[in-house]
Amino acid sequence: MKNVITVFIAAALASQLLIAAPSDRGKLGIGIVLGAPTGFSLKYWENQRFAYQGTIGSMFSGGLTIGADALFHENIFRDSRVPFYYGPGVFIGNAAWGGPDYSHDGLALGVRAAFGADFISREYPFDAALELGPALLLAPKLGIGVQLSLSFRYYP
């Protein structure tokens, strides 16, 4: 039941972002993320170099995880359609690393670093991103892990 309520709240917040800023259409991407976690993905571009990213989904062994990242984009591949990005992030939920020894199937808190490449289509309002996220679980126990994901988002 907690998972259903959390997903409902996230969807309501996303819809409010779309309604609140009609002049900024195209800056907010809504889509899915596959991997760790698998679920719902949002990306809001402040400008061409900086964006916020949020995810809500399930890790491999179950449990809901919510994450947020601040992302800096660089043109290291010399193609503006494929910027490399990096940035700090936080997550809360069931980390699902190492089984119950780490998360006890309950609330876990951690920080991570996001590194990825974002393919931005010029012809269509879509992007796809491949991301690697080394992470440090802070509570209930100290632990390390890696999140790997593939995101697909639509920009209305």
At residue 97, the pLDDT reads 56
In DSSP terms, 143 is beta-bridged to 137
pLDDT tens, residue order, the chain (156 aa) = 455 444 445 544 444 443 333 334 479 999 999 998 899 999 999 999 999 999 999 877 677 889 999 999 999 988 889 999 999 999 998 766 554 455 556 678 999 999 999 999 989 999 999 999 999 989 888 888 888 999 999 999
Rounded (5°) CA angle 144-146-147:
135
At residue 104, the pLDDT reads 52
Start-to-end CA distance of the chain, whole Å, equals: 30
At residue 83, the pLDDT reads 95
The structure tokens listed for 46 are 């402040």
The structure tokens listed for 90 are 């936080």
At residue 14, the pLDDT reads 46
Q: What is the pTM of this model?
A: 0.79
The structural domains of the chain, ordered by start, are 2-154 (2.40.160.20)
CA-to-CA distance for 74 and 79, rounded, in angstroms?
A: 10
Kindly report, residue by residue over 4-49, the tens digit of the pLDDT: 444 445 544 444 443 333 334 479 999 999 998 899 999 999 999 9
**Neighbour-count burial for 54-72, b at 16+ CB within 10 Å, e otherwise:** bbbbbbeeebbbbbebebe
At residue 15, the pLDDT reads 41
* Among 100, 112, 122, CA closest to 149: 112
Q: How far is C-alpha 60 from the geometric centre of its chain's CA atoms? A: 15
At residue 18, the pLDDT reads 38
At residue 145, the pLDDT reads 85
CA-to-CA distance for 18 and 15, rounded, in angstroms?
A: 5
